[in-house]
Copies of this chain bind each other. A is one copy, B any other.
Amino acid sequence: MSKLMRAPWLTSLVFIGVICLGAVLTPDVMAQAEEAVPESAYSSEEYVASAEYPVFALNNLWICISAALVFIMHLGFTTLEAGLTQKKNAVNIIFKNVWIVCTGILLYAMWGFNAMYPGDLGTWNGYFSAGSWFGQSLNDVSQTTAAYNAGYTWWGDFIFQAMFAATAATIVSGAVAERVKLPVFMLFSTLLVGFAYPIAGSWKWGKGWLEGMGFYDFAGSSIVHAFGGFAALACVMILGPRLGKYTDSGIKPIVGHSMPLAVIGVFMLWFGWFGFNGGSALSADPKAVSYVFVTTSLAAAAGAVSSIVGSYLLLQKPDVSMALNGILAGLVGITAGADTVGEGSAIIIGAIAGLLVVVAILGFDKIKMDDPVGAVSVHGVCGVWGTVAVGLFSLNPDHSFVTQLIGTLAIGGFAFAFSGVVFGLLKLTLGVRVSAEEETLGLDISEHGMAAYNGFETA
């Protein structure tokens, strides 16, 4: 008996709303007859021959390639989350992640992009801006040259940021895995990625109040990761732990069903992070891109090594899931300051992140916060650490520890509050958790009527 069937109106409403918005908000559809002979999707010959063209085309290409790399992080999240949870919930995780990346892109087109980057909008007060359809006519040449931006066209800008947007909600997906009601999570993630993320993001990247304060977050330790991590924390608190995880006789580990899937996830995430951080240079500047590649890799490597040491000392075994989380911890930690801290600092930031993630994962388990994949620890804790680390290690004397702390707490706090209110309201109205029977059976069969693996004997 599918939970979905108990709230079909909800699901369908969201579904159909997304599609209809798309159609209504797109003035270019069928506009063929009205327009004068349109420009093609190619740059004019004059522009190609201009002096600025080679550098602009190069910069834009790097942003586009970076968007593709950030996209593949969604495969990384999907396989990591599936690998670290139980076999009986893998279809559910895959479905959620497909949903998030797809609705994330659509909502960012329909609302988020213009909400997050309001530009010179007169009504923009630094805290909140209304969104709108992102579309630009192919004839609008100003959006497709360095006159718009030295690093990319309007569309390059959009697609790179759209791939970022879905990441925040994906982080939550892992933390609520194995027990959340599918249609409710679909609605929640839609609101989080569609509305909450652009608000917090605009405070810095849209030139809002945090930008005004001098807050620095190069590629999103706070704006993406702490945001996702603290949203996840609120959901975990509201949702409660998985059945049987915390018993009178202590904590029962619920091991992931496939370490090969997990490592595919982590290496794909590191690979994608070259676009996430490297693309955040917002140009193909040789100094910036290569420097960011180096700091990103050093921090990831140091994170893994220190997680291995830390978990070995605490757990007396070489723990592969801690090693994998250590890589991610290092990556999240370096993301705020990848272009502004020294190479040695990158190693230290990553190594501390790798220790923090071990302590945090064990600590959240101690206080009975059940986060199946460690998302709050990896993205929340290390996101905050990475942001304040800019205040400690930045080579730019304008960066201040206090400002960094204010910024990361503001963003993390907003994500926590938004999620607490919205997810809390959903709990009161529709309920956020599947029944005990469904949880025991697994969401794949109970929600989707389909097992992830077939032909294998289940243990």
Any B CB within 8 A of the CB of A435: no
Interface string of A276-313 (1 = CB under 8 A from B): 00100100111111111110011011101110110011
The reply to whether A324 and B98 contact each other, CB–CB distance below 8 Å, is: yes
Interface string of A206-249 (1 = CB under 8 A from B): 00000000000000000000000000000000000000000000
- Determine the chain B residues whose CB is within 8 A of the CB of A88 once the complex forms: 455
The reply to whether B455 and A286 contact each other, CB–CB distance below 8 Å, is: no
Query: Considering only CB atoms and an 8 Å cut-off, how many residues of chain A contact the other chain?
Result: 160
Any B CB within 8 A of the CB of A57: yes
Complex Cα distance A106/B302, Å?
7
The reply to whether B58 and A99 contact each other, CB–CB distance below 8 Å, is: no
Q: Residue on B with the closest CB to A35?
A: B395
Any B CB within 8 A of the CB of A205: no
Give the 8 A-B residue pairs with the shortest CB-CB distance, closest first.
Answer: A26-B344, A28-B342, A87-B455, A60-B286, A457-B457, A75-B267, A155-B290, A156-B290
The reply to whether A287 and B327 contact each other, CB–CB distance below 8 Å, is: no
Report the minimum CB–CB distance from A235 to chain B (whole Å).
20
Classify the interface of chain A: helix, strand, loop or mixed: helix
The reply to whether B323 and A452 contact each other, CB–CB distance below 8 Å, is: no
CB-defined A-B contacts under 8 Å, sample of 10: A26-B345, A31-B342, A40-B288, A40-B340, A41-B291, A43-B288, A61-B289, A71-B297, A94-B320, A99-B308
- Determine the chain B residues whose CB is within 8 A of the CB of A304 once the complex forms: 98-99, 102
The reply to whether B290 and A64 contact each other, CB–CB distance below 8 Å, is: yes
Chain B interface: which of A9-17, A123-131, A379-387?
Answer: A9-17
Complex Cα distance A42/B280, Å?
12
The reply to whether A294 and B455 contact each other, CB–CB distance below 8 Å, is: no
Known interface pairs A298-B106, A395-B38; A259-B452 also in contact (CB < 8 Å)? yes
